Chain A
């Protein structure tokens, strides 16, 4: 783990979970897997606190446990998972676009709680939705004396089932059912397993009920005495039907979705809307069939694509074929032909784009690795352009395309005067975007008799940029915290005032009194608060934007590693 990653993890853990969890988490990230006592000893915290912190981290899937040999249980932190916390808003937003508010709240609850049973999450979401709906209908309800709408459990369950079907949520691994007569003591830590087919199996629950509103003191239907009614709902008495079946958000599936989105928008930028729709259809068809780390999607015949096109697009089969040919010929090479399906004579040669006869059965596939490579190269180019200028970007793209070039050749191809070209090349070299390859003419590597070729090593440049992204996000978070700390006094004051106003409104106060309280915050202070809010929002939004770059680069690096 690099320093930048550790710093970022520590900031994220602190923001979400507090000091103690942060200390334990960072210690685990730094030192790898450790047993319980060693953690307690090294960090100097009491065993009790360490246990609680580890519970929190395990609940959120940030730490896993493993039985080491000799029976010692060790805990290991997953740094990459901690960095995902940065992406939570994006996951929630995606769920909202796909499954509207219900989906949004479901995913939010799952992310905030780590793991939950289906019944628990459904109930919670129903309650929250009811509150918001009540908020909308509140005034009407009070005036008309009618119940506000309640969110039905069934609706929420349906959305949950849909999320599970499209693999956005998955079951957590469970303790395997131990066969009876297991001799010997139980293992120190259970090994959790989950079978592939069980992962998305929704248990058959009949969740009947409606969401409860918070202020249900007046509209109580059952008529039990209020004093005796416990604070929680009556479900505590019944055993929860799906106890032990916990669900978590399936981040890989979200990542697949983001990647698909990026590819579709790239195609839309480069070609036109219709092509991007075709690509979107192809990706959607292979959502479930292709694993998230495969370099190619499954081959799809153009007939299948034609049948699965969205309803609004009534283009004929020939036009579809033409579009597919255009996509395959495009220099971006996102889509390719998978070889001759007729005689089965050819092996599906992944990198081949043989111009075979265009028949209806020709399969097409998406080249995901190349697509990711193209996108991350585009990110690199855009960074070079913004940092060093458009001429540097020209040189960078030139070296990317031609792979290896001499100094003189760079000047000639890019049509930039020699002095400037030299300057730019050296600047990029010092920032490690470009590297030098030496080819000696003589065995003694004399500099005057050696060829020096400029080249771009894309995975290494991507890693360098990724590291820079991590540090940038850490900087942004720190700045945000700094800004908040600076204005702490002001924020506290405004919070107090709001609390006073709220309580006064509840007890029924006059307008004049409310005005007076509000004026406790002077105009310049109000201005300052506004500025603070704007700044914090800006920094937050920027973190998410940098996270987009992080996602592209990380996916590309992962895909490259898998290919090897």
Chain B
């Protein structure tokens, strides 16, 4: 009886099977799997067969993302193969990185870190992709020299373009000013109307709550007013109006209170409503600024007997002649 050397074939030695298993594993761990994990799962497969399987996956429509050592992580993303036919793996890698960055975009240096490719390669790839109209470069409003890359058909995020207040990377200060004034005027007229009504209607004088409540305007009302005015070419959201109203608060012209509102009332956000009211300043301009010394730019150089002194102060002379 001759010894039959039976080569014990592992049951799923079929390369396709291996690939499928690896794909399944990648699905199981969306963050990526290391080589170690694959080895643990399929201990009977030799390293060579594993490598073959992985290479096949790479060359096919599935992509694998390489992370720098020491992990050697494999992350699987299924990828519609139509677009990338004819591009090589590195381009696919870069493309994936850019897609991951979503609509915030990613800087070229960051791409380099993630993909571990040399700079020249990166630049070539980026140019390639741009010419194929797959990605685009957007100038960030925060750092004007920086260019971030994102997919061609994505809208850049607010933090990159600046949102409604920026047009072409320029901050539109006049626009903000105009909106500022309009909002303030709206609140002021409401306050004046309330005062006038309070003078005529005697009952309201006795009821401060009514007075107070009628001079408040919710952010929703202001938003509606501004929309109806139609001074803005860009569509403004309620958050935009709230940022404008906040600047009015910092100007000291307006105060805000938050009240709890029932869900579903117009303009309420998370059960709260913000109310705004025009106010007067707490004190009139303080005594120091009525003296020329309070506003003097050369205050620190002024002393008796010097070139600049109270006796020969030009500002004082002008102020006295006033």
Show the binding face of A for B, using Cβ within 8 Å: 262, 265-266, 269-270, 272, 274-275, 315-316, 319, 322-323, 326, 329, 331-332, 374-375, 378-379, 381-383, 385-387, 390, 393-395, 397-398, 401, 408, 413-418, 465, 468-469, 471-472, 474-476, 478-479, 482, 535, 538-539, 542, 544-550, 552
Contacts and interface: CB of A to CB of B under 8 A. Distances in A.
Given A266-B282, A549-B286, A386 B295 contact: yes
Interface of A is mostly: helix
B250 A401 contact: yes
Interface stretch (B49-57, B98-106, B308-316): B308-316
A472 B291 contact: yes
18 contacts: A322-B207, A326-B208, A326-B209, A326-B212, A382-B281, A382-B286, A390-B251, A393-B252, A414-B250, A415-B243, A465-B288, A468-B294, A472-B293, A475-B316, A482-B310, A542-B290, A545-B288, A547-B287
A383 B294 contact: yes
Given A390-B251, A471-B299, A475-B293, A383 B286 contact: yes
Contacts of A331: 255, 257
B293 A397 contact: no
B120 interface: no
A535 B316 CA distance: 10
Given A417-B173, A479-B310, A548 B286 contact: yes
Given A326-B208, A326-B212, A545 B291 contact: yes
Given A272-B211, A393-B251, A397-B251, 7 more contacts: A316-B206, A319-B208, A387-B294, A394-B247, A415-B176, A478-B304, A545-B287
A378 B287 CA distance: 12
Contacts of B304: 478
Interface string B172-202: 0100100010000000000000000000000
Interface of B is mostly: helix
B285 interface: yes
A550 B286 CA distance: 10
Contact of A475 (B180, B243, B302): B302
B29 interface: no
A374 B257 CA distance: 18
A326 B282 CA distance: 16
B159 to A, nearest CB: 10
Residue with the greatest number of chain B CB neighbours at <10 A, chosen from A316, A475, A478, A550: A475
A415 B247 contact: yes
B244 A415 contact: yes
Contacts of B287: 544-550
A322 B176 contact: no
Interface string B229-253: 0000000000000011011011110
Interface residues of B, number: 47
Contacts of B289: 382-383, 386-387
Interface string B62-79: 000000000000000000
B280 interface: yes
B251 A394 contact: yes
Given A316-B206, A482-B310, A386 B285 contact: yes
Contacts of B207: 319, 322
Contacts of A547: 287
B201 to A, nearest CB: 15
Contacts of B281: 269, 378, 382
B311 A479 contact: yes
Nearest to A315: B206
A395 B283 CA distance: 19
A475 B244 CA distance: 42
B75 to A, nearest CB: 30
Nearest to A391: B251
A154 B251 CA distance: 56
B279 interface: yes
Nearest to A396: B250
B247 A414 contact: yes
B320 interface: yes
